[in-house]
Amino acid sequence: MVADAKPVSLQALLMCDVVAHSERLSSLNIIGIFHAIRMTAFPAAMPHFSVYVAWVGGSPETPLEVRLIDPDGKVITASKPMPPAPLFDSSLPQQSVIVFGGVRVEKPGNHAIQAFAGREYLGEAPLRID
């Protein structure tokens, strides 16, 4: 982390069907929040889904990475580290949307979505896959 950067704190980590951007209002609309997915058989390809992440702190250059973790703690897939959109007001949360699609899941169980700002672990959200 940059020497003058503030400590990083996770504000939101949501899995959803889609995040739509409203240019008129300059807002994000989070549609179809979920914490579980039901599959018909395993291994299986997950449907497309989005992950909304908001955090404060760090620096404008702090990249975000989101990982899908299996029940054994292994990384199934990870987003490429990406910088957040530039902010007009650095006191506001950084926001990013990551889209995953067709991710192969080998077995059911308690999975997780983890967020990292740079190398700093921000937190995780449970994802039950049955």
Domain locations in the chain? 6-129
Grouping H, G, I as helix, E, B as strand and the rest as coil, residue 49 is: strand
Per-residue pLDDT reduced to its tens digit, 76-127: 999 998 776 665 566 778 888 999 999 999 999 999 999 998 888 999 999 9
> Which two tokens mark 82?
């990406």
Per-residue pLDDT reduced to its tens digit, 31-77: 999 999 999 999 999 999 999 999 888 776 778 899 999 999 999 99
Domain 6-129, classified CATH 1.25.10, yes or no: no
Instruction: Determine how many CB atoms are found less than 10 A away from the CB of residue 53.
Output: 27
